[in-house]
Amino acid sequence: MKPTYKPVAAHQHGNCACHPVIGSKKEAAPLAADAPAAGAAKPAAAAATASQKAPASPSAGMKPPTKLEYPFKEYPESGKIVEVAEGIFWLSTPLPFRLRAINAYLIEEKEGWTIVDCGYGAEGARTEWEQVWQNQMKDKPVTRVVVTHFHPDHFGNAGWMQEKWGVRPSMSETEWAFGNLAAQNLNTDAIEPRCVFYAKNGLSKPFVDQFRNEVFRYPHGCPTVPDSFNCLKDGEVLSINNSNWRVMIGRGHSPEHVCLYNNDLGIMMAGDQVLPEISPNVSVWHIEPNANPLGDFLDTMDRFRPAMRKDTLVLPSHRRPFRGVHDRFDELEHHHHLRLAEIMAATGPAGITAGDLLPMIFPPNLDGHQLGFAMNEALAHLNYLMYEGKLVRRTDAGGIIRFHRT
């Protein structure tokens, strides 16, 4: 029988539609890479609308995202692209886990197509790409593939596309490197070092074992990695269909995440950096235990906010395109600060471990894959508080890492 968390603490949160891990039972899958299978059906528009309208739970304290506007009520049909702005198309491809779908965007140019993100490297997404190529791309080749970040739902088919079209992906250097390492079961896909890290941070053995047994491995969603890439740098401008798209690097969700922003059109291809309804996962990994990804994530919003038009149409990688990005930044910031305050309130004289936080801030019955991301995200909040000077990190006599009030 699988172990399950018991809601032992007072702060058991209700519906918070803005976070896939913390405090959300509906959206319990962490938004990172390859979460486990929970059906590949696309989210129904009706369901998405319902979750928008659902009042935030008083305990979660989230403002409902009423200020966001969704110009498209329906998701594209399977294997079909929908025009979201002149010459810019939206494709929704399936994921074999709870996030259900990832969006790719296509820009038509005179001689070919630019694709932004590739979908999960599995049969379902490839079938949809094949249908689109055959039926809707007007016999033009793919001439450029932009990958926002290395998670397999974004990078997974880049190798397959390179084989088919001879196009190497355009992406940032760090995302390229991380993808290559993970494909060799290193870095974020080094499972035994992750187990040791989680145990030291207070995850009990049954849950460590569950993580080990159920984690999805990176090559499952990214079976082949392209042999070369084109490097994208912050501030670089790509001319796509005679229009200027500026590379804006986001941090916190992944190390050097590429967003493409077009100020003339008022459009951002945001990847997983900015999402409606769900909060991008922020993770501390065993490879960099002193990282402050939540600080990086909040800093990114501070950088992006003044650089973006308020009426920007955000084309996110999950859920639907939306307007209201400045309000969305406010919501995400509010959400994380609320969570930080709750963690401080829960930290008693004995201190707290990341493992202690799980039953308090996450829904019960996380599967093993989600447990890993939940631990990473709990640590992201604890490390943030450490860098704020509110908590100090110590190793206790049993070798367990605990955070204490300063």
Q: Please report how close the Cβ of residue 200 comes to Zn ion at its closest, in angstroms.
A: 25
Q: Give 177-236 as a 3 state SS string.
A: HHHHHHHCCCHHHCHHHHHHHHHHCCCCHHHHHHHHHHCCCHHHHCCCCCCCCEECCCCC
Query: Which is nearer to Zn ion, 92 or 317 (by Cβ)?
Result: 317
Strands of 169-171's sheet in order across: 82-85, 88-94, 101-108, 113-116, 142-146, 169-171, 230-231
Size of interface with Zn ion, in residues (CB under 5 A): 4
Query: Which is nearer to Zn ion, 325 or 360 (by Cβ)?
Result: 325
Q: Please report how close the Cβ of residue 365 comes to Zn ion at its closest, in angstroms.
A: 22
Query: Which is nearer to Zn ion, 21 or 352 (by Cβ)?
Result: 21
Q: Please report how close the Cβ of residue 332 comes to Zn ion at its closest, in angstroms.
A: 15
Q: Please report how close the Cβ of residue 31 comes to Zn ion at its closest, in angstroms.
A: 6
Q: Please report how close the Cβ of residue 367 comes to Zn ion at its closest, in angstroms.
A: 18
Q: Please report how close the Cβ of residue 322 comes to Zn ion at its closest, in angstroms.
A: 16
Confirm or reject binding of residue 151 to Zn ion (CB under 5 A): yes
Q: Which stretch binds Zn ion (CB under 5 A): 6-14, 152-160, 173-181, 381-389?
A: 152-160
Among 34, 272, 342, 377, binds Zn ion (CB under 5 A): 272
Q: Which stretch binds Zn ion (CB under 5 A): 123-131, 143-151, 284-292, 328-336?
A: 143-151
Among 117, 153, 175, 367, binds Zn ion (CB under 5 A): 153
Q: Please report how close the Cβ of residue 120 comes to Zn ion at its closest, in angstroms.
A: 9
Query: Which is nearer to Zn ion, 256 or 272 (by Cβ)?
Result: 272
Query: Which is nearer to Zn ion, 151 or 323 (by Cβ)?
Result: 151
Q: Please report how close the Cβ of residue 118 comes to Zn ion at its closest, in angstroms.
A: 11
Q: Please report how close the Cβ of residue 271 comes to Zn ion at its closest, in angstroms.
A: 7
Q: Which stretch binds Zn ion (CB under 5 A): 50-58, 110-118, 260-268, 270-278?
A: 270-278
Query: Which is nearer to Zn ion, 68 or 147 (by Cβ)?
Result: 147
Measured in degrees and rounded to the nearest 5, phi and psi for residue 104 equal -120, 155
Query: Which is nearer to Zn ion, 351 or 372 (by Cβ)?
Result: 372
Query: Which is nearer to Zn ion, 317 or 347 (by Cβ)?
Result: 317
CA–CA dist 388, 384 (Å, integer): 6
The residue among 170, 172, 180, 273 whose CA lies nearest residue 218 is 180
Contact pattern from residue 53 through residue 72 relative to Zn ion, giving x for each residue in contact according to CB under 5 A and a dash for the rest? --------------------
Q: Which stretch binds Zn ion (CB under 5 A): 124-132, 147-155, 173-181, 308-316?
A: 147-155
Confirm or reject binding of residue 126 to Zn ion (CB under 5 A): no
Q: Which of residues 309-348 bind Zn ion (CB under 5 A)?
A: 317
Cβ pair 52, 17 in contact under 8 A:
yes
Strands 257-262 and 169-171 turn out to be unpaired
Query: Strand pairing partners for 261?
Result: 246, 268
Query: Which is nearer to Zn ion, 160 or 207 (by Cβ)?
Result: 160
CA–CA dist 127, 108 (Å, integer): 20
User: Which residues of the chain form contacts with Zn ion (CB under 5 A)?
Assistant: 151, 153, 272, 317
